Amino acid sequence: MANHHKQDIESTMQDIVKAMSAKGWRITDQRKSLATLFAEAEGFLSPKDVYDSMRQQYPGVSFDTVYRNLRLLSEMGVLEQIYLNDGLKFRARCGSHHHHHLICLQCEKTVPFEFCPMLHMAGVPADFQVVSHRFEIFGYCPSCESTASSE
Protein backbone atom coordinates (compact mmCIF):
# COMPACT_ATOMS: atom_id res chain seq x y z
CA MET A 1 0.00 0.00 0.00
CA ALA A 2 2.81 2.43 0.85
CA ASN A 3 4.44 1.72 -2.51
CA HIS A 4 1.10 2.38 -4.29
CA HIS A 5 0.81 5.72 -2.44
CA LYS A 6 4.38 6.61 -3.45
CA GLN A 7 3.52 5.84 -7.09
CA ASP A 8 0.41 8.06 -6.86
CA ILE A 9 2.52 10.94 -5.51
CA GLU A 10 5.11 10.51 -8.27
CA SER A 11 2.41 10.26 -10.95
CA THR A 12 0.62 13.39 -9.69
CA MET A 13 3.89 15.30 -9.54
CA GLN A 14 4.74 14.27 -13.12
CA ASP A 15 1.26 15.27 -14.34
CA ILE A 16 1.67 18.76 -12.87
CA VAL A 17 5.18 19.16 -14.31
CA LYS A 18 4.00 17.93 -17.74
CA ALA A 19 1.18 20.48 -17.71
CA MET A 20 3.65 23.25 -16.88
CA SER A 21 5.98 22.13 -19.65
CA ALA A 22 3.12 21.91 -22.17
CA LYS A 23 2.33 25.58 -21.45
CA GLY A 24 5.93 26.53 -22.11
CA TRP A 25 6.91 27.05 -18.47
CA ARG A 26 10.56 26.50 -17.56
CA ILE A 27 10.71 23.58 -15.14
CA THR A 28 12.69 25.07 -12.26
CA ASP A 29 13.43 23.48 -8.88
CA GLN A 30 10.90 25.90 -7.39
CA ARG A 31 8.14 24.69 -9.72
CA LYS A 32 9.08 21.05 -9.08
CA SER A 33 8.79 21.79 -5.34
CA LEU A 34 5.35 23.29 -5.92
CA ALA A 35 4.27 20.17 -7.83
CA THR A 36 5.64 17.94 -5.05
CA LEU A 37 3.85 19.96 -2.36
CA PHE A 38 0.49 19.36 -4.04
CA ALA A 39 1.25 15.73 -4.90
CA GLU A 40 2.00 15.01 -1.23
CA ALA A 41 -0.82 17.11 0.28
CA GLU A 42 -3.73 15.11 1.65
CA GLY A 43 -6.26 17.92 1.46
CA PHE A 44 -6.78 21.46 0.29
CA LEU A 45 -4.13 24.15 0.70
CA SER A 46 -4.74 27.88 0.91
CA PRO A 47 -2.49 30.24 -1.03
CA LYS A 48 -1.00 31.24 2.34
CA ASP A 49 -0.28 27.57 3.18
CA VAL A 50 1.54 27.19 -0.14
CA TYR A 51 3.41 30.48 0.29
CA ASP A 52 4.52 29.58 3.84
CA SER A 53 5.73 26.17 2.67
CA MET A 54 7.54 27.48 -0.42
CA ARG A 55 9.14 30.33 1.55
CA GLN A 56 10.91 27.82 3.81
CA GLN A 57 12.87 26.48 0.85
CA TYR A 58 12.84 29.63 -1.31
CA PRO A 59 12.96 32.70 1.00
CA GLY A 60 12.78 35.14 -1.91
CA VAL A 61 9.49 33.83 -3.33
CA SER A 62 6.67 36.38 -3.31
CA PHE A 63 3.05 35.74 -2.39
CA ASP A 64 1.97 37.22 -5.75
CA THR A 65 4.12 34.71 -7.64
CA VAL A 66 2.71 31.80 -5.64
CA TYR A 67 -0.87 32.98 -6.11
CA ARG A 68 -0.41 33.56 -9.85
CA ASN A 69 1.04 30.04 -10.26
CA LEU A 70 -1.90 28.54 -8.33
CA ARG A 71 -4.44 30.29 -10.54
CA LEU A 72 -2.62 29.27 -13.73
CA LEU A 73 -2.29 25.65 -12.59
CA SER A 74 -5.99 25.67 -11.80
CA GLU A 75 -6.78 27.04 -15.28
CA MET A 76 -4.61 24.24 -16.74
CA GLY A 77 -6.78 21.71 -14.92
CA VAL A 78 -4.07 20.16 -12.74
CA LEU A 79 -5.30 21.87 -9.56
CA GLU A 80 -8.88 21.96 -8.31
CA GLN A 81 -10.02 25.06 -6.50
CA ILE A 82 -12.81 25.43 -3.99
CA TYR A 83 -14.16 28.15 -1.73
CA LEU A 84 -14.39 26.96 1.86
CA ASN A 85 -15.38 28.97 4.94
CA ASP A 86 -11.95 30.55 5.24
CA GLY A 87 -11.46 31.32 1.55
CA LEU A 88 -10.08 29.90 -1.66
CA LYS A 89 -8.15 26.62 -1.44
CA PHE A 90 -6.45 24.34 -3.94
CA ARG A 91 -5.54 20.67 -4.26
CA ALA A 92 -4.11 18.42 -6.93
CA ARG A 93 -6.75 17.15 -9.31
CA CYS A 94 -7.60 13.50 -8.89
CA GLY A 95 -6.56 11.98 -12.18
CA SER A 96 -7.10 8.27 -11.69
CA HIS A 97 -10.82 8.06 -12.56
CA HIS A 98 -14.09 9.98 -12.33
CA HIS A 99 -15.33 10.40 -8.77
CA HIS A 100 -16.56 13.01 -6.33
CA HIS A 101 -15.76 14.01 -2.75
CA LEU A 102 -17.13 14.35 0.74
CA ILE A 103 -15.37 17.32 2.36
CA CYS A 104 -15.18 17.89 6.12
CA LEU A 105 -15.95 21.50 6.96
CA GLN A 106 -13.75 21.39 10.06
CA CYS A 107 -10.54 19.53 9.16
CA GLU A 108 -11.05 19.71 5.34
CA LYS A 109 -10.29 16.02 4.91
CA THR A 110 -11.63 14.77 1.59
CA VAL A 111 -13.08 11.33 1.06
CA PRO A 112 -13.77 10.13 -2.48
CA PHE A 113 -17.03 8.42 -3.39
CA GLU A 114 -17.84 6.67 -6.63
CA PHE A 115 -21.51 7.54 -7.11
CA CYS A 116 -22.01 10.19 -9.79
CA PRO A 117 -25.28 12.11 -9.52
CA MET A 118 -24.99 13.34 -13.13
CA LEU A 119 -25.98 9.87 -14.29
CA HIS A 120 -29.33 10.34 -12.56
CA MET A 121 -30.01 14.02 -13.23
CA ALA A 122 -33.40 14.79 -14.67
CA GLY A 123 -34.28 18.11 -16.17
CA VAL A 124 -30.98 18.98 -17.85
CA PRO A 125 -32.00 20.53 -21.18
CA ALA A 126 -31.34 18.13 -24.04
CA ASP A 127 -29.71 20.88 -26.09
CA PHE A 128 -27.16 21.71 -23.36
CA GLN A 129 -23.84 19.97 -23.93
CA VAL A 130 -22.30 19.14 -20.54
CA VAL A 131 -18.50 19.00 -20.84
CA SER A 132 -17.59 18.89 -17.17
CA HIS A 133 -19.13 18.92 -13.71
CA ARG A 134 -18.20 18.87 -10.04
CA PHE A 135 -20.14 17.52 -7.12
CA GLU A 136 -19.03 17.87 -3.51
CA ILE A 137 -20.83 17.08 -0.30
CA PHE A 138 -19.90 19.14 2.75
CA GLY A 139 -20.29 17.92 6.30
CA TYR A 140 -18.26 16.56 9.22
CA CYS A 141 -16.05 13.48 9.23
CA PRO A 142 -16.48 11.02 12.15
CA SER A 143 -13.54 12.54 14.08
CA CYS A 144 -14.82 16.10 13.82
CA GLU A 145 -18.45 15.11 14.40
CA SER A 146 -17.57 13.37 17.68
CA THR A 147 -15.45 16.36 18.77
CA ALA A 148 -18.27 18.80 17.96
CA SER A 149 -20.93 16.71 19.74
CA SER A 150 -18.82 16.33 22.90
CA GLU A 151 -18.42 20.11 23.35
Residues annotated in a binding site for Fe cation: 98, 133
User: Which backbone phi and psi does 117 adopt, to 5 degrees?
Assistant: -65, -20
Q: 62 and 50 in contact (C-beta within 8 Å)?
A: no
Instruction: Judge if 7 and 75 occupy the same domain.
Output: yes
Binding site, by residue number, is: 98, 104, 107, 133, 141, 144
**Across the strands, what pairs with 28?**
none
- Per-residue pLDDT averaged across 21-25, rounded? 92
For residue 140, which phi and psi values (nearest 5 degrees)?
Answer: -125, 130
- Number of residues assigned to the chain: 151
> Which domain CATH number covers 10?
1.10.10.10
User: For the segment 43-93, what is each residue's pLDDT rounded down to a tens digit?
Assistant: 789 999 999 999 999 999 999 999 999 999 998 888 988 888 788 999 888
Q: What percent of the chain has pLDDT over 90?
A: 36
Angstrom distance (rounded) from CA 106 to CA 148: 9
* Residues 46, 28 share a domain: yes
The answer to whether residues 65 and 135 belong to one domain is no
Residues 61, 104 within the same domain: no
80 DSSP β-pair partners:
91
Binding site for Zn(2+): which residues? 104, 107, 141, 144
For residues 13 and 85, the model is more confident at: 13
CA distance 16 to 67: 16
Are residue 71 and residue 111 in the same domain, yes or no?
no
* The domain boundary residue, chosen from 75, 92, 109: 92
Strands (E), the chain: 79-84, 87-92, 100-104, 110-113, 136-139
The secondary structure element, H or E, covering residue 151 is: none
